[in-house]
Chains A and B, each alone.
Chain A
């Protein structure tokens, strides 16, 4: 299990969180096995909260591919 890593690249910043919260997050991912690190877990939670309400899941190109298939299947 990795701890909080300070990455000095342009794409990442470090954020301080209370140790107690960190330990809780660590315990959660150990118990559920759904994430490989606390960073990955925190990134996921933040994305869920900050993502716009409609949460687009597909790029326009991907959406067109799926629509074409659904049209062929008779749904659209």
Chain B
């Protein structure tokens, strides 16, 4: 029986990997055997993207487009993602369990609370704290904490990256890689397994603040002799750890390195709701005196929902909803007008230019084209990639300008990219062109029945 190890590098960008691969000897061996740029999900965001890769299903099956989801029947209430939302889905680890195979899941985004699979789970960055049951089986937690030297040494995430001095952040991210590999190596050495999936978040966290140090075309480029190698050095660290790990693996192990989406330099954020107000699709009863989130505006009853056509959420892409009759509490758009209105709203948003009036390559994804599955109804009606993701999005209102950098979401050096990476130590049984294909090839390598 062939075993499979997947090392996920959240947010690893194809262009970066392609230009740096010569400096990553272990990954280079895989790269030269089989490498593809892989189409990510719409939107290219961590939770829907990884869930799609490991289920083979479009995000319309989960109703997930972010790390949170809107509560149906409300305009601005939301819930945080948890595995309970998707536990009915037949993921590769469920399918492997049913066939008697054992799986190790390490920090795979979307796995808190940990699924009760045949195997071992250490949950992801949604773990509230170390007192939570973040492992399956529960007793595994004690072992995991011992591996890293105790509860106070366990690192759930490096999340406050906007407030940490860049050099300190870089060191913390290196530490996190070492920490994650320590746990992964322990599990692979001491447990029985057929499929192991580990996802590292350090590259994603780094790109939001270290991108400007190596990209000379970045509008906020900073010359720094040390930090210009910061991101490359993180990849080198991962490559070195992977090199050490693969020597310990049984010889029949297929090794895959992949990401969920890429990354690209971010110029600024578009204040999408400000545009919708200008275009008269979003109506306020009164303008806020200071910038507010949509939820704050709603709580202060400043939004005139009975006259509103569309509103938006989202930090990296614009997630736009139409105030549809029968679906929204005060819906005004008739179903017969729905597609027409979607096109009008998308056209207005597509016309947004950069601060100097230069045309942007804005890309529109309509719900009816982007999604399939029973929960498509919960997905945003329109998803916008401003300048094909070189501009992010911001839902806040009150800046009186379309462009935003210093917002509540903080400055980001990079946005997410629409392509992911996929490399494999042997030629997979079928081509991998999009994330959905990953589950299909795993099923074939592990000789599982189709769902």
Q: Is the CB of A58 within 8 A of B157?
A: no
- Could you tell me the distance between the alpha carbons of A59 and B131 in the complex, rounded to whole angstroms? 13
- Could you tell me the distance between the alpha carbons of A65 and B116 in the complex, rounded to whole angstroms? 24
Known contacts A32-B97, A70-B80; is-contact A75 B68 (Cβ 8 Å): yes
Interface residues of B (CB under 8 A from A): 66-68, 71, 79-80, 82-85, 87, 97-98, 100, 102, 112-113, 116-118, 125-126, 128-129, 132, 157, 159-163, 205, 208, 315-316, 408-410, 412
Q: Is the CB of A66 within 8 A of B128?
A: yes
Give chain B nearest CB distance to A22 CB in angstroms: 20
Whether, in the assembled complex, A3 has its beta carbon less than 8 Å from a beta carbon of chain B, the answer is no
Q: Is the CB of B128 within 8 A of A65?
A: yes
Give chain B nearest CB distance to A76 CB in angstroms: 7
Interface residues of A (CB under 8 A from B): 31-35, 44, 48, 54-55, 57-59, 61-63, 65-67, 69-76
For residue B47, which residue of chain A has the nearest CB? A75
Known contacts A57-B113, A72-B163; is-contact A62 B128 (Cβ 8 Å): yes
Query: A54: which B residues are within 8 A, CB to CB?
Result: 71, 79
Q: Is the CB of A33 within 8 A of B116?
A: no
Known contacts A32-B98, A72-B163, A75-B68; is-contact A57 B82 (Cβ 8 Å): yes
Q: Is the CB of B100 within 8 A of A33?
A: yes
Partner of B315, one of A35, A48, A55, A74: A74
Q: Is the CB of B128 within 8 A of A34?
A: no
For the complex of A and B, 7 pairs with smallest distance between CB atoms: A57-B82, A62-B128, A33-B118, A69-B159, A55-B84, A72-B160, A74-B409
Query: A34: which B residues are within 8 A, CB to CB?
Result: 97, 116-118
Give chain B nearest CB distance to A59 CB in angstroms: 8
25 A-B pairs within 8 Å (CB atoms) are namely A32-B100, A33-B97, A33-B102, A54-B79, A57-B80, A57-B82, A57-B112, A58-B80, A61-B128, A62-B128, A65-B129, A66-B80, A69-B125, A69-B159, A70-B67, A70-B68, A71-B408, A73-B159, A73-B161, A73-B205, A74-B208, A74-B409, A74-B412, A75-B68, A75-B315
